[in-house]
Structure 1
Amino acid sequence: MAEDKSEIEHPKSEIKKYKHIFFDLDHTIWDFDKNAEETLHELYEINRLHEIGVPAATVFIETYTRNNHQLWAEYHTGKITKTELRETRFKRTFIELGVHPDILPVAFEDDYVKLCPTKTNLFPHAHETLEYLQSKYTLHLISNGFKEASTLKIGNTNIGKYFDKVIISEVVGINKPDKAIFEHALTVAGAQKHESIMIGDSLEADVYGALNFGMDAIYFNPFNAPKPDDVPMQVNGLRELMGIL
């Protein structure tokens, strides 16, 4: 029951009454990996990548996903720029798979950026959960994604109606986990730390970013990765949030 779960999360005397919930977008609501996989399967065929030595779409997707996750982690922490991320992820993937630099598909990144945000796969029960939470709390988004892509993702999936404020790191000029973006988000939302909670898939950007700022956080962990001991709350699916919030 929801009441019992809440008591597990917070001692009975300290059960918190939240007013604002801040969500991450990619990998938390919008299923980035599934949408990217669909996009890359299409682009593999369109660009006839087998003709330049990429053995299979599955191998290409697996290699790209690993490289992309690593580069996004570097972008979160300010080690690389948006331009560097976009210039590197496919080039590194093609070269790793043995494609000669002279025959890399030059428009591949641009085609991917145009197509992927039009995909509409969300994590299971996203609309149901957001509709339920919106009836009890004011919901917001804080995303480290890029403005143009995030706007398309939100619009094409019809999730914008659930969120009062949408904070995009590229617009603000600060990425999670920097405390300044959480401070900015609270100011924009008219919220306070003690009445707010962050939900996201990235331990570093979302969970530790919020916790180090002094705001509660829930780790969205759909693939059941090991949970660090210093992470107080996690869910494996969005629907679980309906039972604890």
Structure 2
Amino acid sequence: MNRYHTLLFDLDDTLLDFGKAEQTALRKVLSHFGIEATPELFQRYSKINRAHWEMLERNELSKNEVLSYRHERFFESLGKEVDGATVDQFYRNAVAEHGHHLFDGALEVVEELSRTCRLFIITNGVKETQQKRLHRSGLRPYFSEVFISEDVGYQKPMKAFFDHVGARIADFDSSRALIIGDSLTSDIKGGHNSNIDTCWYNPLGKSNPFSFSPHYEIKQLNEIHQILTNRPF
């Protein structure tokens, strides 16, 4: 019998390649403003975007503020003033249309896990965008339910988010649940706050600068099978 039977998967940079989606969408935004896309601009925007989502995780900004301010700060760094909400709609349309690239092997791993476990998505993304990407990627049929912070009313890593998830899943047993995600500050800290075991998807071998630690760390998604069957890596 598997050690865990309920798997809570993060979406971006765990199953879907958000970096690729972000670059595609930003390239379209920059082209709209007549600006040439460069690696330096991709890196600059990614840093600004990540910082704003981390402020949401700390409850310092609302979701709408994150969506708008990230573009305003980015274009300010280019000496331009824009309406953040308008740019964000353009950007998110591009993410929804082109941002469904899966990491290698992700679909196969999810398909196999769905035969023996209950799978759920937990994400802080925008509802409309995330739903479209899930369907276009082919992932949606393998997940019993999708929990998006916009619907839940709380975001990862807040305990209230995971309390809501547990209340919505029939016969939820936190001791038989596992959170799988790439973000230490969102997924792993969320599990720590909620007393749910965690698996850090860390393909680049990053170091952990925080006082809390995941129960497991993997570089490839197919290593989840070894966790479920208690086999050594």
- TM-score normalised by length of structure 1: 0.84
* 1:26 aligned residue: 12
2:216 aligned partner: 233
Name the CA shift for 1:100/1:145 in 2 (closer, same or farther; >3 Å). Answer: closer
The RMSD of aligned alpha carbons is 1.9
Secondary structure (helix, strand or coil) at the match of 1:26 reads coil
Partner deviation per Cα, 1:148-171 (whole Å, 9 max, x = no partner): 111111111111111011111111
Q: Does structure 2 conserve the Cα–Cα contact (< 8 Å) formed by 1:40 and 1:57?
A: no
CA distances 1:83-119 after superposition (whole Å, capped 9, x unpaired): 211211111112113x233xx4774322111111222
Match of 1:109 among 88, 91, 116: 88
User: Aligned runs of 1:1-245 on 2, under 5 Å?
Assistant: 17-50=3-36, 56-97=37-78, 99-101=79-81, 104=82, 107-119=86-98, 120-190=100-170, 191-227=172-208, 230-245=213-228
Structure 2 CA distance for aligned equivalents of residues 64 and 136 of structure 1: 40
Aligned length: 223
Do the aligned residues in 2 keep the contact of 1:20 with 1:138 (CA within 8 Å)? yes
Percent of aligned positions with the same letter in both sequences?
28
Structure 2: segments with no counterpart, 5+ residues = 229-233
Question: How far apart in 1 are the matches of 2:88 and 2:165?
Answer: 31
Partner amino acid, structure 2, of 1:178: M
Deviation at 1:175, TM superposition (A): 0.8
Q: Write the letter of the residue equivalent to 1:110.
A: Q
The structure with the largest alpha-carbon Rg is 1
1:105-143, Cα deviation, whole Å (9 max, x unpaired) = 774322111111222211221101101111110101111
Distance of 2:136 and 2:2 partners within structure 1? 34
2 CA distance for matches of 1:227 and 1:79?
Answer: 23
Q: List runs of 5+ in structure 1 lacking aligned partners.
A: 1-14, 51-55
- More divergent stretch after superposition (222-231 vs 181-190): 222-231
Partners of 2:97 and 2:133 within 8 A in 1: yes
Name the TM-score, length of structure 2 as normaliser. 0.88
| Aligned-partner Cα distance in 1 for 2:220–2:71 | 30
**In the aligned structure 1, how far is the partner of 2:224 from the partner of 2:166?**
21
Q: Following the alignment from structure 1 to structure 2, what is the Cα–Cα distance between the partners of residues 132 and 44?
A: 40
Question: SS of the counterpart of 2:144?
Answer: strand
Shift of 1:16: 7.0
